[in-house]
Amino acid sequence: MWLSCSSVGRKFVMALTGACLVLFVTFHCLMNAIAICWPAAYNSICEFLGANWYALIASAGLALLFIIHIIYAVMLTLQNRKARGNDRYAITKRPKTVEWSSQNMLVLGIVILAFLVVHLIQFWAKMQLQEIRGAEGMLPPAAGTLFLQEAFSCVWTPIVYIIGFVALWFHFNHGFWSMFQSIGWDNQVWIARLKKVACWWSTIVVLLFIAQAIVFTVKANDDYYKNNEDLRIQYLEMVGAMCEKDFGPDAAQIVSQINSMPYEVAAQQIPQALEQMNSQKSIPGFDQQMEANPQMKKSFETQLKLFESYKVLFDYLNSDNKDNAEDAAQAAPEANPQPEN
């Protein structure tokens, strides 16, 4: 097949997938900017891009682009090494920056891939993947700002991200103009223009990424994403939506009442109500009373598990240290409680 067997075809596929990835990286940069300017809107976007069919298709398509880009990069590198033979060991004059990028695109790609794996573990695996698995419970998967809090409160996160962004600049800068060269835009006038566009575009995007990582780190270490009042109210609504999804109509009325409360009131009253409900279970004859009235038992258990879900959030948001959500979640017996029939 021409696209996979010929050198020109492989370069065309690299250029096409590279162009799509450039657009995605730019979109991601703009989305991160929203997290700084309007954190609540960022969470709304995360909710929109959750485990919905359109988001899943887009995620699968993006993953396919990455895989194809990586496979063809390896194929072209091996092809070039085979064509050069022993010439690749010859001593040459130290190349310029872009030429260095050209000779090390695979290495830069490997660094970016390692960075991408870290990024996916910190965000995608805890957000969209959790929704796909149906394992919601410790933190609302749509609460992107809480996962910014989790990730950037770690000392090593900004270091890893900045290293990844520097590698991205070299890869982005060379790959942008070379993909046009691969499809025939290789005259001296256009190449000079495209190199300038590539330098400006890649520099702006990467500098914004680095600035965003610094801002996220500062805010996370100040517990901004845990203490902001507007975000706390939004987190309550997200937990309520999760409970309605898990427990159905039985939880709708309680969730509506909680959502109408100020955050501080809910954070005080719900743990107290949960403590009272747990103490009721030790009253003599309580179990027999529940068994005699299945409807009452189901309502009690639903309300109990619903309050436990909220308490996990309160414990995490009210914690003064940088513990992970998993530590706060130990107070709840189940990560994704389901009502008994």
Give the span between the Cα atoms of 96 and 85, in whole angstroms: 23
Cβ neighbourhood burial of 30 (10 Å; 0-12, 13-18, 19+): exposed
Give the span between the Cα atoms of 231 and 144, in whole angstroms: 11
Query: Other C-beta atoms within 10 Å of 244: how many?
Result: 17
Cβ neighbourhood burial of 72 (10 Å; 0-12, 13-18, 19+): buried
What is the helix, strand, coil percentage profile of the chain, to 5?
80, 0, 20
Give the span between the Cα atoms of 88 and 92, in whole angstroms: 9
pTM value is: 0.80
Give the span between the Cα atoms of 156 and 153, in whole angstroms: 9
Q: Give helix 294-317 / helix 263-280 axis angle, nearest 10°.
A: 130
Give the span between the Cα atoms of 151 and 208, in whole angstroms: 18
pLDDT tens, position by position, for the chain (341 residues)? 555 566 667 778 888 888 888 899 999 999 999 999 999 999 999 988 887 888 889 889 999 998 988 888 788 777 766 766 555 444 445 445 446 666 677 788 889 999 999 999 999 988 888 888 776 656 888 899 999 999 999 999 999 999 999 999 988 888 777 777 666 666 677 778 888 888 899 999 999 999 999 999 999 999 999 999 999 999 999 988 888 887 777 788 888 888 888 889 999 999 999 999 889 888 888 888 888 888 888 888 888 888 888 898 899 998 764 444 444 444 444 434 444 43
- Residue owning tokens 């067997």: 5
